[in-house]
Amino acid sequence: MKALITGVSGQDGSHLADLLLGKGYEVHGIIRRTSGTNTQRIDHILNHDNLHLHVGDMTDSESLHRIVREVKPHEVYNLAAQSMVRDSFDVASYTADVDALGVLRILEAVMDTNRDIRFYQAGTSEMFGAVLQIPQNENTPFNPQSPYAISKTFGHYITKHFREAYGLFACNGILFNHEGPRRGDKFVTQKIVKALVAIKREKQEKLYLGNLDARRDWGLAEDYVRAMYLMLQQDEPGDYVIATGETHTIREFLDVAAGLLEMDWARYVECDTRLFRPSEVDMLLGDASLAKNVLNWQPEVKFKQLVKIMVEAELAR
């Protein structure tokens, strides 16, 4: 089996590459020219005989068509994105070009090459935005509150369109927040863990955060990429919410992380209103019943264990 992963050097892409290589896949990954030196998440597999990297860009149709034609994959996992929600307010047109039109470009490349290719689109719980239902499942209306979430909503619907209009085996994963030691430094969970460890080691004095009362459904990234793989192994394509079914505030994340480090985080954390989003998403909580019933998927790691994994990895690093 051959798989093509866009965004292979990101958190999810690197974990998915690990998973597929372990299953005997020939894995092809797309990296941007500017990401050529940002491969630390896949450094441990760069010399693997079954890993092949290609330079391409989600904003460039020709590069995507060329790579799909050359690789002839059985499965395509589209994980590439401008994924910082706060940044999307400042680079809205770029976010739309990558996260919305980029999905259309890779779908067209798949269609033009081989309609038997199975396609996975990485969606996000941010599409639910200012939630209209608690918890959120596959039938909950989207109400996106950022250029990132709006762009991802386009990606969701254009994937669904290609499935329904052209018979493409195309799936949307509506993934709630998923974290781990490979999470980018600007994401709040990794930002918290890195800062608290640095403060503990007297290498940093303060941690500045935005909305501490925002609630999220947090899981472990490895659990979530397993769900991506399972979606493309089914007899029929579909869309699935992937979540733990628990919601916790950023305050709670601070409580658990600081507790593991025997620290009082209130002494070091300060609120910076510049870190608030122009429009906030206050609460996300997923109902993954469909994935549990159809995919036989369950999250193996819950909130406190996730925080422990991240803190221990940062201490070791």
Q: What is the DSSP letter of 10?
A: S
Q: Which one of 25, 120, 148, 268 is the catalytic residue? A: 148
Half-sphere exposure of 248 (CA within 13 A, CB side): 20
CA dist 91 and 214 (Å) reads 23
CA dist 15 and 223 (Å) reads 9
Q: CB–CB of 51/21 below 8 Å?
A: yes
Angle of helix 188-200 relative to helix 303-316, nearest 10 degrees, comes to 50
240 assigned to active site: no
126 assigned to active site: yes
Half-sphere exposure of 138 (CA within 13 A, CB side): 14
Structure tokens at 228: 């991506």
Q: Which one of 124, 159, 189, 244 is the catalytic residue? A: 124
Q: Which one of 6, 75, 77, 126 is the catalytic residue? A: 126
157 assigned to active site: no
Structure tokens at 117: 């290719």
Active site residues: 124, 126, 148
